[in-house]
Chain A
Amino acid sequence: MNMCKCKDCCDQLSEYLDGEIDPCDCKEIEQHLEVCVPCSLIYESLKATLDLCAKGIPDDMPQEAKERLRQFLRTHCNADQS
């Protein structure tokens, strides 16, 4: 494990997952991930983290809060109009 290469690689993984790394550097990262097990595990766990953020936080606004919002806006927006 080459600490310098590993640090460079891990420092870029977030941008790599966002597709923000230029193709030349991408190739270097991919080559490193192929041979370095610790970095490839960090990459896999970072990817899993992003996936969980996308799927794991529910949009759970309570129905009563929706109703309160609707009433609040009707009262205040209509007051603005009149």
Chain B
Amino acid sequence: MIEDQQTVQRVLSGDYQAFEALVEKYQGRIYRHLKKMVKDAHVAEDLLQETFLSAYRGLKGFAGTSSFSTWLFKIATNSALMFLRRTRPENVEYDDQAAGHCEASFVSASPEFLNTPLEVLLSSEGRKKIEEAIEDLPVLYRSVIVLRDVEGFSLEEVSKITDASVAAVKSRLHRARNAVRESLGTYYSERGASSNRGASDEHVQM
């Protein structure tokens, strides 16, 4: 973090290579965050360019009261939300009211999910399911789970980035995490049931 502040100072004194070092450091994470928010790789790339250009132009206004990464993710988040409000307003404005979509409830845990080995959970198919489960969430829930659980920001940092209270962040996280848990649980339960059916069909054929 102190390292970022020093790099920012170098950029402000006219060192463009220092800015490229910041881009190199954060481009992958910002791109991943934007791609999750807008669910479109091309749009994410446009917003990524816009984010870094805004950061460069606004660097003088970066007060250093938060970390550089928090400040940068806030610019990216705002540009994604502005894009979504412009193109898909129905998906942004009513998100909290649409909370019923992923109401955290008592959906029991799937034993198949818990018994699936990590190498399967993290296989390319497993990763795809995690991504799909996150992408199915309304955008405000999607952004908090990505910022907290994928990017590792603290609750306070997520609150700053998303302009929401810590209480709202906690509530959205609770719903988002449970919705992803349920979604993965359902997938692995069905997967377990179909492989059991396959096994019993083979047994009958024998």
Chain A residues packing against B (C-beta within 8 Å): 6-7, 10-11, 14-15, 18, 20, 38, 41-42, 44-46, 48-50, 52-61, 65-66, 68-70, 72-73, 76-78, 80-81
- Interchain Cβ contacts under 8 Å between A and B, 27 examples: A10-B106, A14-B170, A14-B177, A15-B174, A20-B170, A41-B114, A42-B109, A45-B110, A48-B113, A49-B184, A50-B149, A54-B152, A56-B127, A57-B36, A57-B134, A57-B146, A57-B150, A58-B32, A59-B29, A60-B32, A61-B32, A65-B31, A68-B45, A69-B27, A73-B23, A76-B53, A80-B57
The CA of A59 and the CA of B148, in the complex, are separated in Å by 15
**B38 located at the interface, meaning its Cβ lies under 8 Å from any Cβ of chain A in the complex:** no
Are B111 and A55 touching (Cβ within 8 A)?
A: no
The CA of A45 and the CA of B123, in the complex, are separated in Å by 18
**B93 located at the interface, meaning its Cβ lies under 8 Å from any Cβ of chain A in the complex:** no
Known: A45-B109, A57-B134, A69-B48. 11 other contacts (CB 8 A): A11-B104, A18-B155, A41-B111, A41-B114, A49-B184, A56-B127, A57-B127, A61-B31, A72-B49, A72-B53, A77-B53
- Select A57's contact among B32, B53, B109, B181, beta carbons within 8 Å: B32
Please classify how large the interface on chain B is, using the bins under 10, 10 to 19, 20 to 34, 35 or more: 35 or more
Q: Report chain B residues within 8 Å CB of A48.
A: 113-114, 121, 181
- Select B56's contact among A6, A41, A70, A77, beta carbons within 8 Å: A77
**B73 located at the interface, meaning its Cβ lies under 8 Å from any Cβ of chain A in the complex:** no
Which single residue of chain A is at the shortest CB-CB distance from B123? Answer: A56
Chain B residues packing against A (C-beta within 8 Å): 16, 19-20, 23, 27-29, 31-32, 36, 45, 48-49, 52-53, 56-57, 104, 106, 108-111, 113-114, 121-122, 126-127, 130-131, 134, 145-146, 148-150, 152, 155, 170, 173-174, 177-178, 180-181, 184-185
Task: Say whether, besides A54-B150, A69-B49, A70-B23, A77 and B110 are in contact (CB < 8 Å).
Answer: no
The CA of A18 and the CA of B23, in the complex, are separated in Å by 30
